[in-house]
């Protein structure tokens, strides 16, 4: 069984290899031969493959969930490519390595952290964990996250124009995250 046969989008994780019954040592062997390149702990890709940085960071920090400006970008609710990625982590998670990787990190209480998690495809075609469209819109409205008004308005406008919009889910999420007073006037203007 060759590892190269199982690589999708030019990347493979150690977990995917071990699930197929192939030893981790085989990955080291392929790196020494030059058939694979080790990008980060647990992630390898073909030498000529484009590195999907969003996916690489998700593999490296598996407890992180993309949110705010990064989620807006992944859900196509903004034209802006994020200058740095933003991830959410539960309270108590050690953020030293995350900050060293220059990721904007946010810690939130566990019940908010675990709610509204979805998966989304990166521009490189890999799947990452991200907060739902509705959660992302509501998170941008929270003052603690310091999102500028233009980004908020663009995100809501694009959300409302999307065929995937769900206004009842958006208002329910806004109630749960306590941002209804900020969302309601924006919806009235944009609807």
What pLDDT, in 10s, does the model give residues 56-80? Answer: 999 999 999 999 999 999 999 999 9
Supply the pLDDT for residue 189.
84
Residue 4 has pLDDT above 80, yes or no: no
Give me the pLDDT at residue 50, please: 83
Please say if the pLDDT value at position 169 is more than 90.
Answer: yes
Measured between alpha carbons, how far is 71 from 101 in angstroms, rounded to an integer? 18
Concatenate the DSSP letters of all residues of 23-59 into one string: -HHHHHHHHHHTS-EEEETTEEE-TTSPP-HHHHHHH
Contact 169/181 with Cβ under 8 angstroms?
A: no
pLDDT digits (tens, 9 = 90+) for 14-47: 888 889 888 888 888 999 999 899 988 888 888 8
Give yes or no for residue 1 having a pLDDT over 70: no
Mutual angle of helices 149-161 and 133-141, in 10-degree steps? 150
Residue 136 pLDDT class (50, 70, 90 cuts): very high
pLDDT for 3 beyond 80 = no
How confident is the model at residue 25, as a pLDDT? 87
> In what helix (H) or strand (E) does residue 154 lie, and over which residues does it extend?
helix 149-161
Is-above-0.75 flag for pTM?
A: yes
User: Whole-angstrom Cα distance, residue 136 to residue 183?
Assistant: 12
pLDDT in tens, 81-125: 998 999 999 999 999 999 999 999 999 999 899 999 999 999 988
């Amino acid at each position: 069984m060759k590892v190269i046969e199982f690589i999708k989008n030019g990347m493979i994780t150690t977990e995917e290899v071990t699930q197929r019954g192939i030893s981790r040592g085989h990955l080291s062997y392929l790196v020494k031969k030059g058939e694979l390149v080790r990008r980060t702990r647990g992630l390898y890709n073909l030498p000529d493959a484009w590195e999907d940085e969003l996916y690489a960071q998700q593999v490296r920090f598996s407890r992180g969930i993309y949110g705010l400006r990064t989620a807006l970008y992944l859900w196509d609710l903004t034209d802006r490519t994020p200058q740095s990625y933003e991830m959410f982590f539960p309270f108590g998670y050690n953020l030293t390595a995350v900050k060293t990787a220059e990721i904007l990190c946010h810690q939130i209480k566990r019940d908010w952290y675990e709610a509204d998690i979805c998966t989304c495809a990166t521009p490189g075609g890999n799947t990452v964990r991200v907060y739902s469209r509705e959660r992302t819109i509501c998170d941008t409205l929270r003052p603690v996250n310091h999102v500028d008004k233009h980004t908020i308005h663009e995100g809501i406008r694009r959300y409302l124009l999307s065929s995937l919009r769900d206004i009842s889910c958006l208002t329910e999420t806004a109630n749960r995250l306590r941002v209804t007073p900020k969302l309601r006037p924006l919806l009235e203007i944009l609807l």
